[in-house]
């Protein structure tokens, strides 16, 4: 048995990546060890940048259907809140959607695109040979081997692929212990600050949010290192109750647990995102304390960045070095998220000696420039990929496509949805249109009145018309360079 790409892990990142690979024409088998999707949801928030991406893929309406949006979010539990109204993107808000629903919708999307999903199939071995990667898979029907050109580990923080691929996971050991309980409250009035609410005492932090009618998610964080080996021990309701009592100083009626879990602030980053035929994405490449709702969003960003590049390699048209830009672009993004989640956790520390820092930070959050910077950072909208130096610079280069409107938006999204690049070209730039003719099969052209933009299939801008003072000839040469750099050799037959 063989396929182009084996994606290991059917969490949100694996499902999204598999779909993106299919958009680019690659054959994909997705292995997921669980025989049924998990009913439990870790994540509940989709960030603004990812809402724009889902919209470009024609998926946003399914995601928003029946789910609430929210124009603000906290940073480290502080006031004032981050204000998303000024993000300047197409969907400047957060979407509250349970991870289980996100996975259900992404699985539907992946299946519709022709991904072969094998549930109950666990990767147990990996041989990265020169001409193929050979996966060993345990399945209900027995063990089998699966050959492929590439394997992508989307198999979570304890990634088997990462370990078998010999990639280090450098970072810190836990300094806090945290519990999660989706429970029924005997009396919501017993919670000192209600639901939703946060309570900080010298003993720790308690957060409570409503996850469905009658079910409250209780999250506790104690700023002491967990006992070695406790990470894999199941949580009991008594443990949650006694932790809540330690933090709040009172007994609170918690019953009928739907899900109990534990997590820590282990913060680690894969030393490399690629080793031979093995690549990593999502939690397999980076883990951090789940504050600010970023892990799933960060992983989906990996998937959208990697999918079209790896598909181009499989299809044989990838320009030299294209696949290497995956790690070069995405690892620094993860590094920033890891740093910023550490900042948030440090600010949340229950030790009263952190109070002056919190007070100062709250004053800073009231400054529009600071509030906006952190809003962009936590929503992924500050991501700017570093492009090779060109004949001129422009603020938009490397960034996500700015909001478009009307038919330009619709035509652009239709092309992105098909996994293609897009050249948005204003009237009068005939020389640019001629220069782009040889890439028509990979880059669709949309005529527009505004500035010219060249978008990769992940929606990032890699060329734009320059400001005044730059000769048109430079813009045309720059466009031809960008097309060759991101979309491979020109095909003269298409002229």
153 vs 400, beta carbon nearer ligand FAD: 153
Compose the 271-300 pattern: x for residues touching ligand FAD by CB under 6 A, - for all others.
Answer: -----------xx------x--xxxxx-x-
Q: How far apart are CA 236 and CA 10, in angstroms?
A: 28
Residue 10 touches ligand FAD, criterion: CB under 6 A: yes
Quick check: 301 and 52 in contact, CB under 8 A? no
Residue 263 touches ligand FAD, criterion: CB under 6 A: yes
Please report how close the Cβ of residue 365 comes to ligand FAD at its closest, in angstroms: 20
Q: How far apart are CA 387 and CA 73, in angstroms?
A: 31
Report the candidate in 303, 266, 271, 300 with the shortest Cα–Cα distance to residue 285: 271
19 vs 296, beta carbon nearer ligand FAD: 296
24 vs 295, beta carbon nearer ligand FAD: 295
Please report how close the Cβ of residue 131 comes to ligand FAD at its closest, in angstroms: 23
Instruction: Give the strands of the sheet with 453-455, arranged side by side.
Output: 443-448, 421-426, 453-455, 461-464
Burial group, residue 243, by CB count within 10 angstroms (0-12, 13-18, 19+): buried
Q: How far apart are CA 289 and CA 234, in angstroms?
A: 19
Number of residues that bind ligand FAD (CB under 6 A): 33
Please report how close the Cβ of residue 156 comes to ligand FAD at its closest, in angstroms: 3
Please report how close the Cβ of residue 41 comes to ligand FAD at its closest, in angstroms: 8
Q: In the set 5, 6, 13, 383, which binds ligand FAD (CB under 6 A)? A: 13
94 vs 387, beta carbon nearer ligand FAD: 94
Q: How far apart are CA 401 and CA 279, in angstroms?
A: 26
Residues 111-140 that bind ligand FAD (CB under 6 A): 122-123
Q: How far apart are CA 297 and CA 464, in angstroms?
A: 27
- Peptide bond just before 258 cis, omega within 30 deg: no
Q: Where are the beta strands (DSSP E) in 188-319?
A: 197-201, 204-212, 215-222, 254-264, 267-270, 274-275, 278-280, 286-287
62 vs 491, beta carbon nearer ligand FAD: 62
Q: How far apart are CA 408 and CA 491, in angstroms?
A: 26
Quick check: 293 and 207 in contact, CB under 8 A? no
Residue 97: strand pairing partners: none
Q: Which long-range contacts (CB under 8 A, 24 or more apart) does 195-199 make?
A: 198/77, 199/247, 199/248
299 vs 488, beta carbon nearer ligand FAD: 299
Please report how close the Cβ of residue 290 comes to ligand FAD at its closest, in angstroms: 3
Residues 44-83 that bind ligand FAD (CB under 6 A): 44-45
Q: In the set 22, 33, 74, 358, which binds ligand FAD (CB under 6 A)? A: 33
44 vs 487, beta carbon nearer ligand FAD: 44
Residue 42 touches ligand FAD, criterion: CB under 6 A: yes
163 vs 399, beta carbon nearer ligand FAD: 163
51 vs 318, beta carbon nearer ligand FAD: 51
Compose the 176-195 pattern: x for residues touching ligand FAD by CB under 6 A, - for all others.
Answer: ----x---------------
Q: In the set 160, 248, 325, 379, which binds ligand FAD (CB under 6 A)? A: 160
Burial group, residue 227, by CB count within 10 angstroms (0-12, 13-18, 19+): exposed
Strands 197-201 and 443-448: unpaired
Site residues (vs ligand FAD, CB under 6 A): 8-14, 31-34, 42-45, 99, 122-123, 154-156, 160, 180, 263, 282-283, 290, 293-297, 299
């Amino acid at each position: 048995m063989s396929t182009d790409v084996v994606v290991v892990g059917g969490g949100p990142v694996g499902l999204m990546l598999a779909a993106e690979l299919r958009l680019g024409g690659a054959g994909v088998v997705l292995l997921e060890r669980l025989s049924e999707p998990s009913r439990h949801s870790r994540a509940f928030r989709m960030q603004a940048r990812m809402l724009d991406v889902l919209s470009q893929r024609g998926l946003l309406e399914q995601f928003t259907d029946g789910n609430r949006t929210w124009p603000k979010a906290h940073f480290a539990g502080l006031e004032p809140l981050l204000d998303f109204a000024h993000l300047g993107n197409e969907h400047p808000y957060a979407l509250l959607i349970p991870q289980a629903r996100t996975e259900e919708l992404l699985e539907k999307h992946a299946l519709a695109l022709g991904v072969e999903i094998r549930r109950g199939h666990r990767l147990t071995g990996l041989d990265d040979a020169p001409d193929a990667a050979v996966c060993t898979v345990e399945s209900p029907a027995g063990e089998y081997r699966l050959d492929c050109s590439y394997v992508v580990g989307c198999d979570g923080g304890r990634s088997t692929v990462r370990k078998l691929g010999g990639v280090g996971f450098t970072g810190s050991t836990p300094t806090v212990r945290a519990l999660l309980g989706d429970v029924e409250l005997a009396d919501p009035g017993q919670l000192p600050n209600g639901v939703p609410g946060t309570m900080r005492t010298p003993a720790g932090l308690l957060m409570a949010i409503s996850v469905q009618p009658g079910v409250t998610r209780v999250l506790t964080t104690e700023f002491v290192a967990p006992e070695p080996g406790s990470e894999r021990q199941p949580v009991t309701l008594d443990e949650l109750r006694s932790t809540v009592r330690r933090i709040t100083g009172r007994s609170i009626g918690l019953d009928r647990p739907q899900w109990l879990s534990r997590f820590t602030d282990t913060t680690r980053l894969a030393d490399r995102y690629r080793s031979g035929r093995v690549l990593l994405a999502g939690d397999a490449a980076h883990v951090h304390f789940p504050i600010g709702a970023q892990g799933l969003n960060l992983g989906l960003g990996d998937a959208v960045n990697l999918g079209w590049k790896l598909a181009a390699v499989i299809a044989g048209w990838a320009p030299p070095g294209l696949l290497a830009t995956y790690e070069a672009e995405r690892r620094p993004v993860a590094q920033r998220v890891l740093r910023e989640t550490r900042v948030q956790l440090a600010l949340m520390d229950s030790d009263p000696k952190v109070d002056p820092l919190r007070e100062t930070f709250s004053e800073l959050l009231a400054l529009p420039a600071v509030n906006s910077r952190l809003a962009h950072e936590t929503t992924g909208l500050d991501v700017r990929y570093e492009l090779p130096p060109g004949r001129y610079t422009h603020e938009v280069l490397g960034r996500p496509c700015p909001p478009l409107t009307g038919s330009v938006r619709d035509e652009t999204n239709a092309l992105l949805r098909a996994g293609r690049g897009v050249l948005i070209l204003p009237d009068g730039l005939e020389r640019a249109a001629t220069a782009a003719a040889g890439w028509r099969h990979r880059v669709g052209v949309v005529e527009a009145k505004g500035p010219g933009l060249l978008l990769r299939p992940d929606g990032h801008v890699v060329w734009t018309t320059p400001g005044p003072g730059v000769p048109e000839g430079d813009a045309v040469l720059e466009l031809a360079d960008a097309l060759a750099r991101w979309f491979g050799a020109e095909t003269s037959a298409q002229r």
